[in-house]
Amino acid sequence: MKPSYSVHTWQFWPVMCLVFLYPINISLIGISIPIYYFNKGVSIEIIGFLVSAIAITYSFSPILLNKLSQKFGKKKSVLIATLGTTAAQISFYFTLEPAIFFIARLMEGFIMGFFWSNLQSTISDSPKYKQSKYAASYNLSWNLGVLSGFLLGAIVVFSIDDVEIIFYLAPLIMIITIMVAVFFFQEPPNINHQTSSKDKDDVRTDDLDSQDKNEFSKYYLPIIVPILLITCYCISRATIGLLYPIKSEILGIETYTIYILLFFLVLAQTIFTVISSFLSMKSLKRITLVSLAGIIILIMILGMITVFNIFLYITLFLIIGTFCGLLFGSTLKLIIALNVKNQTSKYSSIYESIIGICFLFTPILIGFIAAIDLKLGFYSASIAMLMIIVPVSIFIIKIKKD
Residue 201 domain-assigned?
Answer: no
Q: Does 37 map to a domain? A: yes
Whether residue 93 lies inside any domain: the answer is yes
Largest CA distance in the chain: 65
Owning domain of residue 166 = 13-192+214-401
In a domain, 207, yes or no: no
Q: How confident is the model at residue 299 (pLDDT cuts 50, 70, 90)?
A: very high
Quote the number of domains for the chain: 1
Answer whether 59's CB lies under 8 Å from 234's CB.
no
The contacts of residue 342 (CB under 8 Å, 6+ apart) are none
Q: Please state, in angstroms and rounded to a whole number, the distance separating the CA atoms of residues 148 and 82.
A: 19
pLDDT in tens, 99-141: 999 999 999 999 988 888 888 777 766 666 576 677 778 878 8
Q: Is residue 197 part of a domain?
A: no
Q: Report, as an integer, the average pLDDT of 332-354.
A: 78
Closest alpha carbon to 14 in 114, 151, 141: 141
Output the domain CATH number for residue 279. 1.20.1250.20
6 falls within a domain? no
In a domain, residue 370? The reply is yes
SS3 219: strand
Instruction: State pLDDT tens for residues 309-335.
Output: 888 899 999 999 999 999 988 888 888
Query: Is 208 domain-assigned?
Result: no
- 354-376 mean pLDDT: 87
